[in-house]
Each structure stands twice: as C-alpha cells, then as structure tokens.
Amino acid sequence: MAVAILLLTACSSDDSADQAPRVLAALDAVQRAFTNGDLDAVCARLSVAAKNEVGEIAHGQPTACARDLRRFRRMIAKGSGWDSAGSPQPEGVTVHAGGATVLAELRDRSVDLPFVEEGGRWKLESFMGTPKARTVGHEIAVRRASFPEADGSGVRASTSGQGRSPCFEFYVGDFPEIGSSACELNVIDGEVALDVVSSFGQFRFGVCTVDYTIRADGQGRTWSDVWFDSLGLEFSGCGDVEECLTEDGTEIPWRGRLREEGPGRLLHVMDVCFRTCVGYFKGRLASRLVRRAGRWKAWTVDSSVGRSGFHLTGGAPLEPHSVDFGPASS
C-alpha cells in the first residue's frame, strides 16, 4: 500500500522525510505485537503518557504496563469485543515539531494516531483518542473562541407561529449563561451507539440514551449543554462519557453553528471534547435536524469527533418547540 508522507514542520528538512518511515514501522510493530499478544513488546512502543493511560483504564492508576494491558484486553473481551475489521491502515504521515501523526482508516472511519519520540524511538503518544496533554486548556480556548463558520450556508433562527421574532442573540458577556429568551430545541430519549477506533482496532463502547438541549440565536449560532447524563442500554461505558473540563473544573456549553444542508435538513456542527474512562476525544462533531410536516422533528448523528476515533451513530425525536429556521439570506 502506498502511503503519502506529508511534512508539516515549520521548516521541512531531509531529517523529517527520514522520520516518516520510522513512524510507520513503529505503528506496524506495535500493532503486530498487540495482535500476537506480546504485551512486553507493546509496552516498549508506548510513551510514558500512553502507559499511564492504560493503567488508568485498567486499574484506575498505573501499575505494571503488561499487567495493565492484560486487564484492558480482558475488559474489552468481556464487553463488546473487537470488531472483525482488524487494525486501522495508514494512509499518510505528518511529521511536525512536536512529534508525528499517522492518518489511518478503518471501515471508512478516519483516525489520527499520534506518535512522539522518546529515547530515540517513535512511540504511541496516546493509547486511545486525543493525547491528554493536548486537551490542557482546550476547553477554555475553544469555548471562548468564535463559533464555527457559516460556510455560506448559514441560517436565521426565529420563533415560529404568530408574532415571529428573531431568536435572542448570544453575547460574549452571557457566556456560559444563556438568557431564557434563547430559542431551544431538546433532544429527548435519543439512542446513540458509541464506537472507539484505536491503533489496535475498533470496539463498541456502548449503546446509550442521551438527552440534551440546543440553544440557538438569530444567526444560527448554538450553545449545547451536557450530553451524556444517560443510562446505558448495552454494555457499561455510557455513564463514563462526560464533557472535558476547563482548567478550573467548570463544565460550560459547546459552541456550534447551524447550516442549511438542503430542503428540510440542517447540519449542526459543534467543537466538542469528551472525557471517558478510555481517553479524551476532541474535535468537530456534526449532526442533523430534519423537518417533517412543517416542523423540525428529528435529530440524527452518524459522525466522528474530528479524527479522534470516537464515533456516534443514532437519532431521536425533537421535543415540541416553537423555533423555525430559514436561509440567512431570507
């Protein structure tokens, strides 16, 4: 398989080009070791941070790497088990100042596999998902940044029925509190399957119920509250899906944008960050709102959180509401 080598360093060099094959070799070695059950060899290809993550998953805190891995493998086997598709296959490599990233695919799902050089060897920087170190400060940065762009297909939001009026506009000073006059859409009793794609394959994390609120303003910008205060329908991972926290331990709404996707369909994009018992997952997530019989009635999702390896599939009815959306140009 031909693999593209992309150099995204501040100053590309011959040394960067030399590193990409070494990164791919490191990925192949750790995947083969995991498949063969050679846990000591897997541990030799995990960064210090990744070993700590394995320990936190398996025992709540790191013990011995091989012991932690053995416990993790038993946990997956007793749950959903590994998907039959095997390990994700590399499609490209980026080498940058802080390390390297392998761009991989599995069952048409994309995932970034981060690597870091330690002791002269390339090693997996994170056992699963987004490296924990990269989420430090992420919530404050993302949640105080601008909303996702409209991409030329934004919408205007207003109250529906008689006395139509634009939805309450969001202002920086209101964040994270939102006035009661904001237009609300509530997803109720949603059912969502959660899959995790890691360097070693894909497994079903859980099938969960979900309830959450989308608050929209007149420009189609959104703030959404906590998603997974939910009950597990299958397996046990659902209760361990929470929002990432700010540095002071605060949970605050995600920022998003509604875009027109076609007749009777809106695309809702959000910058999100999940913390779970198997790792952190951050990136942009897309879901859809569907209009039926003149009302926005359904919510669906079949999307990954960026390229972090966390995939959501499912849907739900929307609670009765008095919000309507139209093209921004109307």
- Supply the DSSP string of 95-152, one letter for each residue: EETTEEEEEEEETTEEEEEEEEEETTEEEES-SSSB-GGGGTTHHHHHHTSPPPP-TT
List, for residues 48-66, the tens digit of each pLDDT value: 999 999 999 988 899 999 9
Class for domain 138-327, per CATH? Answer: mainly beta
Return the ∠ at Cα 143 (arms to 142 and 146), rounded to 5°. Answer: 75
Helix (H, G, I), strand (E, B) or coil at 328: coil
Q: pTM of this prediction?
A: 0.88
Place of tokens 């031909």: 2
Looking at CATH, the fold of the domain delimited by 4-127 is given as Nuclear Transport Factor 2; Chain: A, (3.10.450)
Question: Who has greater pLDDT, 251 or 285?
Answer: 285
List, for residues 166-176, the tens digit of each pLDDT value: 888 877 666 66
Give, in order, the Cα–Cα distances in Å from 259 to each of 154, 267, 272: 4, 5, 17
18 pLDDT tier (thresholds 50, 70, 90):
confident
List, for residues 109-150, the tens digit of each pLDDT value: 999 999 999 999 999 999 999 887 777 655 556 556 678 888
Please state the domain extents for the chain.
Answer: 4-127, 138-327
